[in-house]
Amino acid sequence: MTSKNKSKNGHYGGIARNIVFIVLVISVTPLVLVSVFILTEFQTSYKEKVGDQLELLVRKHKNNINSLPKENDVRISRISCLVLPERRTQALKMSC
C-alpha cells in the first residue's frame, strides 16, 4: 500500500469513528431523557400512593382508639348492672 492510500484510510477511519459516536449519542440521548422522565413520574406517584395508604391507616387507628372508651363504658355499665343490685333498678329505667 502506498502512503497516499494509508492517509485516505486513516481519514475515513476517523470519519467512521465519528459517525458511530454520533449515532450512539443520538440513539442513547432519547432513551436517557425518557428514562429520567419515567423515573420522576414513578417516584411522584409512588410517594403519593404510600402517603395515601399511611393516612388511611392512621385514620383507621385513630377511629379504633376513639371508639375503645365508648365500648368500655358500655361493657362496664352492663357488668355493673349484673353485679350491683341497686344499680339494676336504675339501669332498668335506662337500658341495662
| Averages of pLDDT over each 10 residues, the chain, 96 residues | 57 88 95 97 97 96 85 78 64 55
CA 79 and chain centroid, separation: 46
Determine contact, residues 58/40, Cβ cutoff 8 Å.
no
Q: How many domains does the chain have?
A: 1
CA 60 from chain centre, in angstroms, equals 19
User: Which residues form the domain of 15?
Assistant: 3-94
